[in-house]
Amino acid sequence: MTKEEATEKARKDLAKRLGIHDTQITDQSVTESDFPDMALGAAASGEMSGQMISKGWKIQLKAGNQNYEYRADKNQLRLYNFKGKNHKI
Amino acid sequence: MNRNNFLPHVALALILILVAAFAGQLRKWQSQWKSRMRIIPAEEKRREPVNSIESAPYERHGLSAPEVLVKFKQGVSEDRVQQITQDLHDQVDDEIEAVPGLDVIDDLDDEAAEQVANEYRKLPEVEYAEAVFEIEADDFLPSPVTPSDPQFSAQWALFNDGSRGGTKGADISATYAWSVTTGSDKVVVAVLDSGVDYTHSDLASNIWIRPNNIAPYEDRELGTIQDFHGYNAVENSADPMDDNGHGTHCAGIIGAEGGNDIGIAGVNWKVQIMPLKFMNAGGYGTTKAAIEAINYVIDRKKAGVNVRVISASWGSTQKSRALEDVIRKAGEAGILFVAASGNASTNNDRTPHYPSSYNLPNVISVAALDRNDQLATFSNYGVKSVAIAAPGVDILSTWLGDEYEEKSGTSMATPVISGVAALIIAHEPNISVDQLRAKLLASVDPLESLKGKVVTGGRINAAKAVK
C-alpha cells in the first residue's frame, strides 16, 4: 500500500463511519512518522505487536470541526483513538 | 643584670632549650614513622617529583619500587628486623599489618629482586621471601575473542569501540564472555515472533530441527502438526517462515552463526533457534495465537526438547489473564520468558505493558539502551517492574532476503538478554529458571542513567554472566 492508497482508504473509512460523503472530508496533512511499535502505536483490542520502531505515515483528516488520525504503512491502516478505541481497517 | 634574677633566667633558658630539642625530636620521630608506615598510592607516586620530601623512600633514592616481600618468623622482634635490613643495606618500606611479620623490603643497592630474596631466605629468622612481581590485568580478565564475521565491527552492542558517536565499552562485553563460551547447540531458544527466515545463510545452521526421537506435535483440537523447524500459530501449520522480518532480526541477535566469515555474530555463535510464528506480515498478532505458540513450546519441552528460553519482543498495554497463565505454566516447565518492556517512553510501574509486566518468577522485562549507555528515548522503564537493560538502538541483525538491517526497539534489547541466558545455560546446563533469572539480574554493569529506572540499575554484562 502506498501513501496515496492509504490516504484514500482512510477517507473512505471515515466517511463510512460518520455516515457522510467523502467529499465532506478534508486532508489536513500526511506526514512520515516513526511509530513506537509494529501496530503503529494503535493496537486494537486483543492485539500484541512487535516492539520495534516502525516507519509509516500519519494521516490527519477533518470532518466538520473534528480531527481524525489514521496511521499507515505498506502493510496496514489504522484509525487511532476513535471514540477512545483504536481500529485496524 | 640583677644578681638576684640570674638563676631564674638560667632556669628559663634551660627549659626553652629542652622544649625546642624535644619538639625537634618529635618532628624527627614523626618523619621516620611516616616514611616507614605510609602506603603511597600509585597515582601519587606518578604525580610527585622524585626529590619531593613526601615521595616514597625508593623514589628519594632514585631507585625502583620495593622488590621483596619477606615474612619473618613469629617472635622475631622489630629491632632484629631493623638490624637485619640495615646489615643487608635495605630498609623496611612497609609492614603488612594483616599478616604479622610480613614486610615490604626496599633494597637500597638496587640489586636484582630475586638475589635480594635469596639473601633473606638464607636467614634463620625468615620464614619465606619472594620477589615482587607485576600482576597484569590479563591475569584477571579472560582474553577477548573476536569473531571473523565481516560486519562484526558494526555490532556495537557486542563490542563498542566508540565509533559512530558511541562510547567505548558501552556494550555487553561479549568478546570476553566468548573466551568462556560461545554457546551450545544443545540449548534451544524459542523465538516467539513473526517467524524466522530459517534459510538465511547466517541462521540456517543454528535453526532447531525436531529430532527423530521426538514425535510430531499433536493437539487434540488442532490436529497433528509435522513440525520440523517450529510452529506457525497464525496458520496452524508446521511452517514458521517469517514474512515480516522482525522475528528474523531477533533471531540473529540471539544466534546468528559466529565465526563463519558471513555477516554478523549472534550473542551465541552456536545455539538452536526454535522459530515460532504468531504475528503476521504486519508484525502484530493475537493473544490467542501467542498462547497457542507457548502451548506448543511447553509441549515440546515435555517431549524432551531442551527449550529453556522464550524470547518475546512484543506486547501491548492490554492484560490477558490467559496469556499470564500460559506463561506461568512455561515457568513451571523450566522455561524463562524474556519480554520487551515497550516503546512508549512510559513508566511501567504506572502503566503496565504485557507480557513484560506480569509479576511471574520466570518473566524478565527488558529496557533498551543506546550506544552511549543512555536509556533509549523510546524505552519504557520502571524501577519496580522493568528488570534490566540491554542495547536496543541501531542494532544490526539478520533480515529477510539474506540481508542485514539496523533496527531499534525494546524488541532488539530483549533477544540480547535471551542470548545471554542461552550462554549461561551453555556454561551451566543444569541451572534452574530461578537461578538463571537471578544470575542474569546479578550480571549487570551499574549505570548512572538507569538509577531509579530499572530494578537492577544496570546493563547486562555477558562476561559476568558466564564467570
Question: How large is the ipTM?
Answer: 0.90
Considering only CB atoms, B313 lies closest to which of A36, A43, A51, namely A51
Stretch B398-423: mean pLDDT, rounded? 98
Determine the distance in angstroms separating the CA of A37 from the nearest CA of chain B, rounded to an integer: 7
What does the alpha-carbon distance between residue B204 and residue B273 come to, in Å, rounded to a whole number?
A: 9
Confidence of residue B31 (pLDDT cuts 50, 70, 90): very low
Q: Is the pLDDT higher at B5 or at B373?
A: B373
Chain B partners within 8 Å of A75 (Cβ): 281-283
Q: Are B418 and B338 in contact (CB under 8 A)?
A: yes
What does the alpha-carbon distance between residue B346 and residue B352 come to, in Å, rounded to a whole number?
A: 9
What does the alpha-carbon distance between residue B135 and residue B138 come to, in Å, rounded to a whole number?
A: 8
What is the C-alpha R_g of chain B? 33
Stretch A7-23: mean pLDDT, rounded? 95
Count CB-CB contacts under 10 A for residue B62: 9
pLDDT at B64 over 60: no
Q: pTM for the complete prediction?
A: 0.75
* Residue B61: predicted pLDDT: 35
Contact residues for B131 (Cβ-Cβ < 8 A; gap 6+) = B67, B68, B69, B113, B114, B116, B117
* Chain B residues contacting A via beta carbons under 8 Å: 193-194, 244, 246, 249, 278-279, 281-288, 290, 313-318, 320, 340, 342-345, 378, 407-412, 414
* Residue B13: predicted pLDDT: 57
The answer to whether B246 is a known catalytic residue is yes
Partner residues linked to B340 by β-bridges: B366
Give me the catalytic one of B246, B249, B353, B427: B246
pLDDT at B158 over 50: yes
Pairing of strands B403-407, B217-219: unpaired
The answer to whether B242 is a known catalytic residue is no
Task: Kindly identify which residue of chain B lies nearest to residue A76, measuring between CA atoms.
Answer: B282
Q: Are B253 and B166 in contact (CB under 8 A)?
A: no
The answer to whether B163 is a known catalytic residue is no
Confidence of residue B57 (pLDDT cuts 50, 70, 90): very low
Average pLDDT, chain B: 88
Chain B partners within 8 Å of A47 (Cβ): 284-286, 316, 318
The verdict on a CB contact (< 8 Å) between B318 and A45 is yes
| % of chain B surpassing 90 pLDDT | 75
* Residue B369: predicted pLDDT: 98
| % of chain A surpassing 70 pLDDT | 100
Task: Kindly identify which residue of chain A lies nearest to residue B281, measuring between CA atoms.
Answer: A75
pLDDT at B151 over 60: yes
Closest CA to B250 of B422, B91, B106: B422
User: Number of H helices and number of E strands within chain B?
Assistant: 12, 19
* Residue B131: predicted pLDDT: 83
Stretch B335-350: mean pLDDT, rounded? 98
Coil/strand/helix, residue A63: strand
Task: Kindly identify which residue of chain B lies nearest to residue A39, measuring between CA atoms.
Answer: B284
